[in-house]
Amino acid sequence: MLYVVATPIGNLQDITFRALEVLKTSDFVIAENPKNSGLLLKHFQIDKPFKQFAEHNEQKALPPLILQLKSQNGALITDAGTPGISDPGFRLVRACVEAGIKVVPIPGANAAISALSVSGLPTDRFLFIGFAPRTENKLIKTVLLGKDTESTVIFYESPFRIVKSLEFIQKHFPDCHVVVAREITKVYEEFLRGAPSEILPKLTKENTKGEFTVLISFKK
């Protein structure tokens, strides 16, 4: 059996009782980065063997993992948040489904949904696109899908590209409503709201650190 276990995106108190129980009772843990995930388990005094499943080794790691999961229980976690959402874990889930291995979700933290819930933007329909496309043309085409379907667009962005992506948004959609969430649940958690032209001046060198979730809406 494979458990897909959501872990905190920042504040460790966001771990659920059920997630801790599953991590304690599973035979092994599958992680994209065992070094980072090992710190989380150590914090909660959980000692389990790790198996790595990441983009660079997934082809080699997949067959033995599927074989092991047919007789043992494994817990899939990611560096932070819900596994399989914009990370390679979804390929392991897909392979388990195809192999007839039971897959059980253990819900918890997710940056996109957390940001949407406090954004003040419409939540009835949204389009999550993972990490933002790197080119201006692809980003604008993707955001247009949200505009055409009257959906709030949500994407993740790095501190190295957040300003450039917002400049693209300002250029093509100057009147849209934007929320930029930074370091959700962490010490320096911050939410910037307004038009692109209002948010860009606030993104200084001091506060363009950490992980960003960007939400865009064309209606209030």
Note whether 119 and 212 are same-domain residues.
Answer: yes
* Residue 183 belongs to domain with CATH number: 3.30.950.10
- This prediction has a pTM of 0.92
Mean pLDDT, rounded, of the chain: 95
Q: What is the pLDDT of residue 58?
A: 86
Output the DSSP codes for 144-206. Answer: HHHHHTT-EEEEEE-TTTHHHHHHHHHHH-TTSEEEEEESTTSTT-EEEEE-HHHHGGG--TT
Q: What is the pLDDT of residue 196?
A: 97
**pLDDT confidence of 158, banded at 50, 70, 90?**
very high
* Residue 48 belongs to domain with CATH number: 3.40.1010.10
As for how many domains the chain has, the answer is: 2
Q: What is the pLDDT of residue 206?
A: 75
From 88, 106, 124, the end of a domain falls on: 106
End-to-end CA distance of the chain: 44
Q: What is the pLDDT of residue 56?
A: 85
Q: Taking the CB of residue 214, how many other CB atoms lie within 10 A of it? A: 25
Q: Which two tokens stand for residue 150?
A: 């009257």
**pLDDT confidence of 63, banded at 50, 70, 90?**
very high
Note whether 41 and 56 are same-domain residues.
Answer: yes
86 near 14, Cβ under 8 Å?
A: no
Q: What is the largest CA-CA distance in the chain?
A: 56
Note whether 74 and 117 are same-domain residues.
Answer: no
Note whether 132 and 178 are same-domain residues.
Answer: yes
Q: Which two tokens stand for residue 114?
A: 């957390």
- ∠ CA 57-154-86, nearest 5°, is 10
195: containing domain = 111-217
Of 66, 49, 47, nearest to 58 by C-alpha is 66
